[in-house]
Amino acid sequence: MSPPNAAPASSREHESVALAPPQPSFEVLPAWQDEDPERIRDLQDEIRDLARQKCAIILAHNYQLPRVQEVADSLGDSLALSMTARDASAERIVFCGVHFMAESAKIVNPAKKVLLPNLAAGCALADSISAESLEDWKDRYPGYTVVTYINSSAEVKALSDICCTSANAVSVVRNVPSRRILFTPDKNLGNWVKKQVPEKDIAVYDGCCPTHDVLRSASVEKVKRLLPDAVIIAHPECREDVLEMAQEICSTSGMFDAVKRHPEARTFIVATEWAQVYRLQQVYPEKEFVMADGCIGCRLHCPYMKMIDLPQVKRSLEEDVFEIRVPEAIARGARRALERMLEVPRDR
């Protein structure tokens, strides 16, 4: 029982929070680690065998579950994975990522069977634009060259002049001959590109990625106060207030090189999805990577990227599901926009 003059439990809890601010941590990972590592290893071995038998290549995005990343033949960001898919000679491409990535793979390498292990793996940002809404924006900006982020459907790509990814958005916009650009669908990436290319007149569509857009500079500042020497790395899908705090702004794969540019730094605050933080920690075990929300990654979690786990990858190989098909009438225009994108080198 509490002593008679003790403060009520709720106010004591409040006091203890005020005295000991939560430390930024990486505690989210145990929730995703399986209790039975042997079962995981067995499943991974079965997947590798099946992939060999089926002449399949497994591609995985940097945001995939760590155990899915471990069975991938190739890991990367949207640009690297599109290039790998285009050049793949295997009969099947099992794409562990989200729908627009698998669809882009099919478009750039139509002769291959492209499989997405779970059709529920969509993308909220890609869903924020449709062929109809893009037509409306094109009517509002006649004569503008349409630059569309790869996070979009094949229909939207087909109505665009050129695509880009977070790895080459600045170079794409700088290199298109037109001075007037309609950038779709991500407003945070678009506004950041606009600042890098002030000589162009850039209209920006109003879509965003909820996983990144939820992050506020106030949260990042709390983490920075606890780790004043840390270098902040952010994905350009973050809001402007967060990007203004960052020393490095780059695609998920670009973040690996960004770490190398700061050999003196031991700690990095990372403003993007938590699985990327896990990957960085694996590649640089001597460094410390902390999620920018100063939390357990609950706000920096892409539910779509976590729709694929090992059982889905195994089923995908066993049953050839779920095959991505794009009608040629749409694929033709989307391919032109993607191929133009693939010609533009990375920004760094």
Binding residues for ligand SF4, rule: CB under 6 A, are 98, 123-125, 151, 209, 211, 237, 273, 302, 304-305
- Reported in sequence order, the residue ranges of 235-338 that DSSP labels E, i.e. its strands, are 248-249, 267-271, 288-291
Q: Phi-psi bin for 31: left (phi > 0), alpha (psi -120 to 50), beta?
A: alpha
114 is in the binding site of which of ligand 13P, ligand SF4, none (Cβ under 5 to 8 A by kind)?
Answer: none
Q: How far is the CB of 78 from ligand SF4 (least distance, A)?
A: 9
Q: Is 62 in the site for ligand 13P (CB under 6 A)?
A: yes
Site residues for ligand 13P, 36-55, by CB under 6 A, read none
Q: Is the peptide bond before 322 cis (omega within 30 degrees of 0)?
A: yes
124 is in the binding site of which of ligand SF4, ligand 13P, none (Cβ under 5 to 8 A by kind)?
Answer: ligand SF4
Site residues for ligand 13P, 206-245, by CB under 6 A, read 209, 235, 237
110 Cβ neighbours under 8 A, 6+ residues apart: 326, 331, 335
The tokens describing 208, both together, are: 């965003």
Measure Cα distances from 199 to 193, 324, 347 in Å.
11, 40, 17
Q: Which is nearer to ligand SF4, 107 or 209 (CB)?
A: 209
Q: How far is the CB of 150 from ligand SF4 (least distance, A)?
A: 10
171 is in the binding site of which of ligand 13P, ligand SF4, none (Cβ under 5 to 8 A by kind)?
Answer: none
**Per DSSP, what are the bridge partners of residue 76?**
61
Q: Is 84 in the site for ligand 13P (CB under 6 A)?
A: no
Q: Is 151 in the site for ligand 13P (CB under 6 A)?
A: yes
Looking at residue 207, the DSSP 8-state letter turns out to be B
304 is in the binding site of which of ligand SF4, ligand 13P, none (Cβ under 5 to 8 A by kind)?
Answer: ligand SF4
Q: Which is nearer to ligand SF4, 51 or 313 (CB)?
A: 313
165 is in the binding site of which of ligand 13P, ligand SF4, none (Cβ under 5 to 8 A by kind)?
Answer: ligand 13P
Q: Is 252 in the site for ligand 13P (CB under 6 A)?
A: yes
- Angle at 66 (CA atoms; ends 62, 69), nearest 5 degrees: 60
Measure Cα distances from 7 to 2, 10, 11, 284, 329 in Å.
9, 8, 6, 46, 71
Q: Is 168 in the site for ligand 13P (CB under 6 A)?
A: no
Q: Which is nearer to ligand SF4, 75 or 125 (CB)?
A: 125
Handedness of CA 76, 82, 84, 88 (dihedral sign): positive
For residue 328, give the amino acid letter: E
Cβ atoms within 10 Å of 206's Cβ, excluding its own: 13
Specify the 3-state DSSP secondary structure of 260. Answer: helix
Q: Is 188 in the site for ligand 13P (CB under 6 A)?
A: no
Using the structure block, give the residue that is written with the tokens 């099946």.
50
Q: Is 118 in the site for ligand 13P (CB under 6 A)?
A: no
Q: How far is the CB of 305 from ligand SF4 (least distance, A)?
A: 5
- Compute the distance between CA of residue 38 and CA of residue 44 in angstroms, rounded to an integer: 10
**According to CB under 6 A, which one of 145, 165, 168, 219 is a site residue for ligand 13P?**
165
Q: How far is the CB of 185 from ligand SF4 (least distance, A)?
A: 10
333, 213, 297, 101: CA torsion to nearest 10: 0
Q: Is 77 in the site for ligand 13P (CB under 6 A)?
A: yes
Q: How far is the CB of 151 from ligand SF4 (least distance, A)?
A: 5
Specify the 3-state DSSP secondary structure of 29. Answer: helix
Tell me which residues touch ligand 13P (CB under 6 A): 62, 77-78, 151, 165-166, 209, 235, 237, 251-252
